[in-house]
Amino acid sequence: MFSSELEVSRFKGAAIKTISSICGQIKKAAENTGMFRATFKDRIKISDIMFLRAFYKIPIKQFHSPITSLLSISKALQAELPFKSKPKIVKTDVPTKRAVIMDKNDKQAATLFNEINLLSKEKAKKQKKAQKQQVEHMKKLRAAEEEADARHKKKRKSFFRREGQNEMPC
């Protein structure tokens, strides 16, 4: 019936019933895993099968989101539908925007999405600012490099001009 002492301890005090309608109660876990001690109102047979009369609530995860707006069917598709399947009553006085009432989980999810969105926007701003600073720094480096190249070129030019003047053709 059970596979571990933990399961037995979880259902301690639970009602059990045999096929021959003899009621009993789980008292405590025995030495071996999954074995337990129980008391019954009357003697039971070894061949009796026992049923655990306890219900354990398991929360069911919802894998859908409720749809608040009605689906619209195109006129071409409506023409092809049989009369039985065609939409009969169209509400015209329904407001287009409805107040969405969120439950606790939906509110938590919405706030989490807003926080994540805010963090990503801040991160993008920081990256953009850092990129601008990097571009400005690269411009300064290029300007300094061009200035150094111009000075170097000027020095070389003057050096070779002097060298050319010193070498007199014979």
Return the closest-CA partner of residue 39 out of 53, 21, 22, 54: 22
- State if pTM tops 0.75: no
Q: Which residue has the tokens 């990256």?
A: 127
Task: Give per-residue pLDDT as tens, 31-43.
Answer: 878 888 999 999 9
Task: Give per-residue pLDDT as tens, 63-92.
Answer: 877 777 777 888 898 889 898 888 877 666
Reading across the β-sheet that carries 50-52, which strands appear in turn?
Answer: 36-40, 23-29, 15-18, 50-52
Q: What is the mean pLDDT of residues 99-119?
A: 92
Binned at pLDDT 50, 70 and 90, residue 62 comes out as confident
Q: Is the per-residue pLDDT at 1 higher than 90?
A: no
Report the 10 Å Cβ neighbour count for 16.
Answer: 21
Domain residue ranges of the chain, discontinuous segments joined by +:
5-52
Q: Is the per-residue pLDDT at 170 higher than 60?
A: no
Q: DSSP string of 66-123?
A: ---S-----HHHHHHS-GGGS-----SSS-SS------HHHHHHHHHHHHHHHHHHHH
